[in-house]
Chain A
Amino acid sequence: KAGVTQTPRYLIKTRGQQVTLSCSPISGHRSVSWYQQTPGQGLQFLFEYFSETQRNKGNFPGRFSGRQFSNSRSEMNVSTLELGDSALYLCASRTPGSEAFFGQGTRLTVV
């Protein structure tokens, strides 16, 4: 069974640009969550989608947004990038009653 796939693995963007990250969950998993991991703040919850609906949202500014498609694939978008947005962005998928499986993440560097 294929794991959670995140693309791209690495990304370098300039301040002020926007970026879109993609997450393909494990087949059959309808819940997708996104987390930001930084050395200073650790792992912080961004948002969760289930069956194309946002079910939970963390304490991030409105520049951070996401969506989920009918095939459960999810994207997150960050607009007007800031240097502080440099982080590892992790996606996790699960099915009800199971554990959350994480992808390897997308390493975003803002210069």
Chain B
Amino acid sequence: QQQVKQSPQSLIVQKGGISIINCAYENTAFDYFPWYQQFPGKGPALLIAIRPDVSEKKEGRFTISFNKSAKQFSLHIMDSQPGDSATYFCAASIQSSGDKLTFGTGTRLAVRP
């Protein structure tokens, strides 16, 4: 069962542009929504995370927007840079149930110079 749906599968953005990746979840018990960045040959690294009591969280060029009623959340990368080229995964978990993360299918982002 695909509990976290992620789109698009791939994304090409020009340097300086905005990259937007969307995720939708089904399980309303999820209460922690992280985004991970993965470079080839590396493990995923946490980029930014949000809990459902806030609608937006910003860290530098990265912003998460969260819509609890629609069960959707998105990652916005402002002023995208070639160094941002990586695969991005959204995830969700139920914090009281341990560390099980349910991941989206990933978005391969390419930022053109």
Contacts and interface: CB of A to CB of B under 8 A. Distances in A.
Contact of A90 (B41, B43, B46): B43
**In the complex, which range does the number of interface residues on chain A fall in?**
20 to 34
A31 interface: yes
Interface in A18-68: 31, 33, 35, 42-45, 48, 50, 55-56, 58
Nearest to B36: A102
Contact of B100 (A48, A103, A104): A48
B102 to A, nearest CB: 7
A10 to B, nearest CB: 11
What is the size category of the interface that chain B forms with chain A? 20 to 34
A49 to B, nearest CB: 9
A55 B98 contact: yes
Interface string B29-56: 0000010100001111110010000000
A50 B41 contact: no
Contacts of B43: 4, 90, 92, 102-105
Nearest to B94: A56
Nearest to B106: A42
Interface in A71-97: 90, 92, 94
A100 B100 contact: no
Given A42-B103, A42-B104, A43-B103, A56 B41 contact: no
By Cβ-Cβ distance, the 3 closest A-B pairs, closest first, are: A102-B43, A43-B103, A99-B46
Interface of A: 4, 31, 33, 35, 42-45, 48, 50, 55-56, 58, 90, 92, 94, 99-105
